[in-house]
Chains A and B, each alone.
Chain A
Amino acid sequence: MDQALAKDIADADVKPIISFRNISKRWGSAVAVDNVSLDIMPGEFFALLGPSGCGKTTLLRMLAGLEVPTEGQVLIDGQDMGDIPPNKRAVNMVFQSYAVFPHMTVTDNVAYGLKIDGVPQEERDRRVQESLDLVQLGHLATRMPDQLSGGQRQRVALARALVKKPKVLLLDEPLSALDAKLREAMRFELSQLQQKVGITFIMVTHDQDEALAIACRIAVMNKGSIAQLGAPSDLYEFPGSRFVADFLGSVNMFEGTLIEDKPDEAIVACPELDPHRVYVPHAVLGQEMSQVWVAIRPEKMNLHKDADTPPAVPECPGSYNVARGEIKDISYLGDISIFHILLASGRLIRVSRSNRSRFDQDNFNAGEKVWVSWAGSSPVVLQS
């Protein structure tokens, strides 16, 4: 995917709007960002995703000029930012706390950046009005920030940043302070807004659902480096490492040994799945007898009523990709149910089933013995 995207970009002859070149940031011996290189294209909704302390916020702040890189270059629209202070950069930020100025009205907040730039009154008023309408805050223009809800304050912060028509809008954990329902709604609104204004958005988040739902491309970060870069579905379906597989969504991970690795099939033996083995209908391109990990998403596993012989599995020869176990617990979540299944090896795995019918025909109960199976295309074999 990376190569395909790179080719697309080369074909379109588009220059990146943001380039990080071998960027590092250290505080004493602590490394926040470790030699990161990254290009972000104009018009993208890009997400930096990772656990706290992975360096994603530091990367964003270096882009805004609020932190100075220890090494490397930041380029905005091809221009080296070097020592250029934050007030001279064509990017604007929506802060995690929104940082709305409490002593100014909504209008004054939004007008602030234009006032500093010396934009004439008439144009200023027009642009402020436009910007407020864009985030649907026109009716609250004269309010003070303490009279606004959290969601409204966030809109003020958005309008205040967008009114300056930045080349890139930076969002630091934009939805983390909102409650669940509002967060859901704002996800959709943010991507709508991005399409409407056509500006590049870069969002920092630790919430994988948020990143998957909004972003065109995601960089998953871990310990100051980019673990994997790609479209949401690529990252989810084709994780390159255990960290990415585990961080994005939920996964059942099994340690094992690569027994066979042919051009069109590979077999992995996992002690926790004994006596059955894992089959994939493609090459792993690893060393035979080397240590590997098999990752299988809970929704890609199937449940079968107990029987003496294992169930038939698609894309896979018999008695592969199955496991026998007992249902320990069922978590009913409405849209899906999660089955916790204890395998003979003592390993507990998660299998999810969507509740597409209002009546469950199969009627699995806790304590019941079952077969678990997964198609040949479901497992991802990871070498790191």
Chain B
Amino acid sequence: MAQRRAPLEYNRMWQMRLWLFGVFFFLYAPLVALVAFSFNNSKRNTVWRGFTFDYYVKLFNDQDLLIAFANSLTIALLATLISLVIGALAAVLLWRYRFIGRTVVEGTFMLPLVVPEICMGVAMLLFFTRVLPWPNDLPWPLSLGSIIIAHVSFCFPFVALVVGARLASFNKEQDEAARDLGANDWQAFRDVLLPHIKPALIAGGLLAFTLSLDDFVITFFTSGPDTITFPVKVYSMLRFSVTPEVNAASTMLILLTIVLMILMMVMQSRGQKKG
């Protein structure tokens, strides 16, 4: 006998179950296929011909790919650090001070969130060729400078957004209490405001890191002939054929992203327990 459905138990309606199944299938089936075929023992990558780690071995011996990977990590790391500083400062500025044109400034900070990536990419390309030509022969990692700047420009608004949301819940009396107890502006910031926004800095930083690591469009337009990142490299490999090596490379990228996301969630729940 079928049990009666409680008022909010929508998950027991078959229509809802079908819908959920559809969502999960179309979201995850391609990813599962991608990972599965990275172990396919075939050059063509259309028919399953047995299990192998060959393409992972090949991946780790591919010098170009490893360099691209190192570039990506370096760019992501530096872009994240710079975004954290600029983003946090922007958020604190908008939160603490009331000034003329504040909404305009807030709007311009958030602009990179809404401008289509392709437009950003073209704009960056023009900027780094016409306005501020980035020399091609700089030593590594300065050669990555243009990409890092481009990445910071779309990463820091996310940091500012996350930190700004956190600041909204800050009790200004705590800052006043610190100063009342003898702290100067810097000490009050370090001892009271910074601990409050720490979870947001971690979350925002990891968000910026994954965004930078995954970015293709903007990077594609700003990278010079000699600097290549992991997603751009994957794309160039794809132009010849979809080999399991591409799958293997993509799997590695997915894995890295998942690890970072888990790290972020752990940090956040820890921050919540404390705060």
Contact indicator A92/B275 (Cβ below 8 Å): no
Contacts A95-B176, A103-B195, A112-B191 hold; do A117 and B275 have CB atoms under 8 A apart?
no
B67 CB–A CB distance under 8 Å? no
Taking CB atoms and an 8 Å cut-off, the chain A residues in 157-197 that contact chain B are: 157, 160-161, 164
List of A residues within 8 angstroms of B196 by Cβ: 102-103
> Contacts A87-B184, A112-B191, A116-B187 known; A99 to B171 CB distance under 8 Å?
yes
In the complex, chain B residues 155-203 whose Cβ is within 8 Å of any chain A Cβ: 171, 173-174, 176-184, 187, 191-192, 195-196
Q: Which residues of chain B are near A113, meaning CB under 8 Å?
A: 181-182
B96 at the interface (CB under 8 A from A): no
The answer to whether A93 touches B182 (Cβ under 8 A) is no
The size of the chain A interface, using a CB distance under 8 A, is 26
In the complex, whether A16 has a CB less than 8 A from a CB of chain B is: no
Tell me if B130 is interfacial: C-beta within 8 Å of chain A. Answer: no
Q: List A contacts of B177 (CB < 8 A).
A: 93, 95, 99, 101, 157, 160
Q: A91 to chain B: which residues have CB within 8 Å?
A: 180
A85 in the interface (beta carbon within 8 A): yes
Any chain A CB within 8 A of the CB of B4? no
In the complex, whether B239 has a CB less than 8 A from a CB of chain A is no
Please determine whether B275 and A160 come into contact, CB atoms closer than 8 angstroms: no
Chain A minimum-CB-distance residue to B176: A66
A86 on the B face (CB < 8 A): yes
CB pair B179–A85 under 8 Å, yes or no, is yes
CB pair B274–A116 under 8 Å, yes or no, is no
| CB-nearest residue of chain B to A64 | B180
Which A residues are in CB contact (< 8 Å) with B187? Answer: 116
B181 touches A160 (CB 8 A): yes
- Of the four ranges (under 10, 10 to 19, 20 to 34, 35 or more), the interface on chain B belongs to 10 to 19
Which A residue's beta carbon lies closest to that of B182?
A116
Residues on B with C-beta less than 8 A from A95 are 173, 176-177
A102 to B192, CA, bound (A): 9
Contacting residues, chain B, for A85 (C-beta < 8 A): 179, 184
A97 to B179, Cβ gap below 8 A?
A: no
Measured in the bound complex, the distance between the Cα atoms of B275 and A76 in whole Å is 37
Q: How far is the CA of A93 from the CA of B174 in the complex (A)?
A: 11
Contact partner, B180, options A86, A97, A102, Cβ 8 Å: A86
Kindly report which residue of chain B lies nearest to residue A103, judged by CB atoms.
Answer: B195
In the complex, per-residue mask of B133-149: 1 if CB is within 8 Å of any chain A CB, else 0: 00000000000000000
A99 near B182 with CB under 8 A, answer: no
In the complex, how many angstroms separate the beta carbon of A162 from the nearest chain B beta carbon? 11
> CA A157 – CA B177 in complex, angstroms?
9
Is the Cβ of B180 less than 8 Å from the Cβ of A101?
A: no
Q: In the assembly, what is the distance between CA of A103 and CA of B192, in Å?
A: 8
A residues near B275, Cβ cutoff 8 Å: 102-103, 146
Decide: A112 and B181 in contact? CB cutoff 8 A.
Answer: yes
Q: Does A96 interact with chain B (Cβ within 8 Å)? A: yes
Residues of chain A within 8 A of B181, CB atoms compared: 87, 92, 112-113, 116, 160-161, 164
Assembled-state Cα–Cα distance A116/B179 (Å) = 10
Tell me, in angstroms, the Cα distance from A161 to B178 when the chains sit together: 11
Contact with B along A97-116 (1 / 0, CB 8 A): 10101110000000011001
A87's partner among B171, B179, B191, B195 (CB-CB below 8 A) is B179
Q: How far is the CB of A203 from chain B (nearest CB, A)?
A: 16
In the assembled complex, how far is the CB of residue B115 from the closest CB belonging to chain A, in whole angstroms?
37
Q: Which of B5-55 contact A (CB under 8 A)?
A: none
The answer to whether B182 and A87 touch across the interface, beta carbons within 8 angstroms, is: yes
Q: Are B180 and A92 in contact, with the CB atoms below 8 A?
A: yes
How far apart are the CA atoms of A87 and B176 in the complex, in Å? 9
Give complex CA distance A85, B177 in Å: 13
Distance A99 CA – B192 CA, assembled complex (angstroms): 10
Contact status A103-B274, CB under 8 Å: yes
Checking A99, A103, A157, A161 against B176 with a beta-carbon cut-off of 8 angstroms, the contacting residue is A99
Closest 3 CB pairs of A and B: A113-B181, A99-B173, A99-B177
Pairs A–B under 8 Å by Cβ, sample size 12: A64-B180, A66-B176, A85-B179, A87-B184, A93-B177, A95-B177, A99-B171, A101-B191, A103-B195, A112-B183, A116-B187, A164-B181
